Amino acid sequence: MKKRDYLLKFIGQPVAILCVRYKYRGIVREVGDDYCVLSNAFAVISGDASLAEAPMREDATISDLFISIDSIEIVHQPVWCFSGYKTSEVKK
């Protein structure tokens, strides 16, 4: 399965994305041919176990985050990726 097709399943949902060097979390807003956009995004500096309620340390980004699909290694939904988002921000 292509990364793009996999990401399309998460539109409107919070995810954690591990790139070559960094980990981010946010709500998948858009997926293009070679990019995805996370809204309400954070750069995760120190994540925790998948079942933790919140990441140990993170920094908010000042705008939507565009990520090259080629740089993505892992897309997943640990419990902490949902931390701080209101129900109205997340599509179920």
- CATH assignment at residue 31: 2.30.30.100
Confidence of residue 33 (pLDDT cuts 50, 70, 90): very high
- pLDDT reported for residue 62: 85
Does residue 60 sit within a domain?
yes
Query: How would you classify residue 57: left for phi > 0, otherwise alpha for psi between -120 and 50, otherwise beta?
Result: beta
Does residue 80 sit within a domain?
yes
- pLDDT reported for residue 92: 44
Domain count, the chain: 1
Does residue 67 sit within a domain?
yes
Does residue 78 sit within a domain?
yes
In this predicted structure, the answer to whether residue 41 has a pLDDT above a threshold of 80 is yes
**31 versus 44: which is more confidently predicted?**
31
Does residue 12 sit within a domain?
yes
**Sign of the CA dihedral 18, 65, 9, 3?**
negative
Does residue 91 sit within a domain?
no
